[in-house]
Structure 1
Amino acid sequence: MANYAPLDPPPAYEDSQPHPPSSNRTAPIPSPRGPPLHRPPFPLELPALVSLRGKRVILASASPRRRQLLAQIGLTNLEILPSSFAENLSKTLSPFEYVLQTATEKVLSVYKAEIDNTEKGEPALILAADTIVVSHGGTILEKPRSEVEHIRMLSMLRDEGVHRVYTAVAAMRPLESAMDPGYVLHTHVEETRVRFDPNVTDDLILAYVKTRDGADKAGGYGIQTAGVILIERIEGSYDNVVGLPLGQTIKLIEKVMLAEDEMEDQFAQDEDDLI
């Protein structure tokens, strides 16, 4: 299987209809020699990542952006099983607690569904994440539900100046031993401050909304695509705004994959102390 990152699907609002194809579009003329061949980079030779090769690694998210980011560290053979968690926590929670609890519930939901999978066997690792955009006034912003709401959302982010993006990551490894609760779970919440360009015009916002680039994203924009034209600067992790702080995710994977031996040694010691 080629280790290529998946492409983003074309975004759309829930109630939108696809645009008709343009009759003026023409296919690009291929080069006589064909496209240049680009070899994907070799995967990271980290012990935790090496130990996962050939095993079930589940991403509890349908986000193609998270899948792309994980592909950059060599996790390309992912099993995509979006969580069934309703994501209906109270907005009275702090943004930190809201995003952390949501990611934790997502990973627990998939764990409960897959731990007794007799056909595929239990997973070696489950990853879940949740990203929210929080306005300067503290409002948690969801994906825009219409073009009107999309324009209003981006105008507010521009007028308020700085907003925050939080991503919570949960990494879980089921334990082979009988130790309670049956898994190792570690989490992390990353915060990035994003400042929109105050000189962005209403016309530019409207033009961006018409591209539908941000229609499927919390906050209504994508920093890794055309939404970058709205942004003046960020403070913190870029890939956190995309949807997954990759450096911290690697650290979580290492913690859960290398923790079981230490836990089993402690478990055996505790058993000996009881004898």
Structure 2
Amino acid sequence: MSNTNTPSDPPPSYEDAQRPAQTSRGPPGQIPRSGGIPPPMKPPLPLNLPALVALRGKRVVLASQSPRRRQLLAQIGLTNLDIVPSNFAEDLPHTLSPLEYVLQTASAKALDVYRREIDNSARGEPALIIAADTIIVTHGGRILEKPRNEKHHLEMLRMLRDEGSHKVTTAVAVMAPLESAVDPGYRMETVVEETVVRFDASVTDELIHAYVRTRDGADKAGGYGIQTAGSILIERIEGTYDNVVGLPLRATLKLIEKVMRPEDDDEDEEGEEGYAESGDEDFI
């Protein structure tokens, strides 16, 4: 007799698992409903911060297909995002330090989308571009990205379990085009954040294989999702949770506030520096 509790269909391929899910569109930030899933809770009122208020009604571009990053940005009120994935190849050499690797990748993603979209006559110039890159850095210093296939996925998770702890490193690059002709024509700020993740040493190979077959981690750096079933593999973290999800929200908001400051502030800062220099000369 066959076991009716065992799924007969094979899991999706890694190519299919890494494609963004096709869902029906609803109001911005709303989770599509299906079956017996209850409707989402009413979202909170948006944050009335000057930088976020200045972006309302303007084109905000997320240079990523990640639904997790989109959901995190919705928590601070950026719900009407224009999703424009970067075409950057993400093939920098792994001889770079993990910090350099992830920072250069996020910056290159932002610049790629900026160059393609700055003269977009159909959609208009973006007011803000947000790009990010997340990698796993093993205890031994290896850089891990998304698993290539099931064998690679199993090996990756077993290594993370056996090594005990690893770091999730995310770089964020935020850009805002300038109205003035000041070179290079945009303001860009970046940040890198790290969170230490410790796997549960008692996780069995059987559990890892069962998790891999769900394909939950197929589209994620390191091969697991802390916000989904991958949490069963994790004992604890040290650092920010949303950084492991894929976007350190607090740090991203600070970058947005920096690049959205009025351009007059830059002129005032330059004027103050010039005044200080001339004042010093008067005392010589």
TM-score band, normalised by the shorter chain? Answer: 0.7 to 0.9
Task: Tell me: CA distance 1:175–1:267, structure 2 relative to 1, closer, same or farther (3 Å).
Answer: farther
How far does residue 270 in structure 1 lie from its aligned partner after superposition?
9.9
How far does residue 39 in structure 1 lie from its aligned partner after superposition?
1.6
Q: How does 1:28-39 map to 2 (within 5 A)?
A: 38-39=41-42
Q: How does 1:198-213 map to 2 (within 5 A)?
A: 198-213=201-216
CA distance in 2, matches of 1:134, 1:204: 23
Task: Tell me: CA distance 1:165–1:37, structure 2 relative to 1, closer, same or farther (3 Å).
Answer: closer
RMSD value over aligned CA atoms? Answer: 2.4
- Is the 1:69–1:244 Cα contact (8 Å) retained in structure 2? yes
How far does residue 11 in structure 1 lie from its aligned partner after superposition?
7.4
How far does residue 180 in structure 1 lie from its aligned partner after superposition?
1.1
Task: Tell me: CA distance 1:212–1:218, structure 2 relative to 1, closer, same or farther (3 Å).
Answer: same
Mapped pair 1:231 → 2:234:
yes
Aligned residues: 250
Q: How does 1:149-228 map to 2 (within 5 A)?
A: 149-228=152-231
Offset from partner CA, 1:81-137 (integer Å, 9 cap, x none): 001111111100000000000000000111111111223221110000000001111
- Is the 1:11–1:214 Cα contact (8 Å) retained in structure 2? no
Q: How does 1:64-213 map to 2 (within 5 A)?
A: 64-213=67-216
How far does residue 36 in structure 1 lie from its aligned partner after superposition?
6.0
Matched residue type, 2:85: P
Matched residue type, 2:198: R
Which residue is equivalent to 1:248?
251
Which residue is equivalent to 1:63?
66
CA distance in 1, matches of 2:62, 2:195: 23
How far does residue 147 in structure 1 lie from its aligned partner after superposition?
1.1
Q: Percent identity?
A: 71
Offset from partner CA, 1:139-174 (integer Å, 9 cap, x none): 111211111111111000000001011000000000
- Is the 1:169–1:187 Cα contact (8 Å) retained in structure 2? yes
Task: Tell me: CA distance 1:133–1:29, structure 2 relative to 1, closer, same or farther (3 Å).
Answer: closer
Task: Tell me: CA distance 1:70–1:12, structure 2 relative to 1, closer, same or farther (3 Å).
Answer: farther
- Is the 1:11–1:215 Cα contact (8 Å) retained in structure 2? no
SS at match of 1:178: coil
CA distance in 1, matches of 2:169, 2:221: 11
Matched residue type, 2:95: T
- Is the 1:107–1:127 Cα contact (8 Å) retained in structure 2? yes
Which residue is equivalent to 2:260?
257
Matched residue type, 1:253: I
SS at match of 1:258: coil
CA distance in 2, matches of 1:81, 1:259: 26
How far does residue 261 in structure 1 lie from its aligned partner after superposition?
2.5
Which residue is equivalent to 1:13?
14
Which residue is equivalent to 1:22?
none
- Is the 1:177–1:264 Cα contact (8 Å) retained in structure 2? no
- Is the 1:107–1:171 Cα contact (8 Å) retained in structure 2? yes
- Is the 1:171–1:252 Cα contact (8 Å) retained in structure 2? yes
CA distance in 1, matches of 2:184, 2:137: 33
CA distance in 1, matches of 2:121, 2:132: 26
Structure-1-length-normalised TM-score: 0.85
Task: Tell me: CA distance 1:12–1:73, structure 2 relative to 1, closer, same or farther (3 Å).
Answer: farther
CA distance in 1, matches of 2:152, 2:158: 10
- Is the 1:191–1:240 Cα contact (8 Å) retained in structure 2? yes
Matched residue type, 1:122: E
Unaligned runs of 5+ in 2: 1-10, 18-33, 275-284
How far does residue 257 in structure 1 lie from its aligned partner after superposition?
0.3
Q: How does 1:22-61 map to 2 (within 5 A)?
A: 38-61=41-64
Unaligned runs of 5+ in 1: 1-9, 17-26
- Is the 1:179–1:267 Cα contact (8 Å) retained in structure 2? no
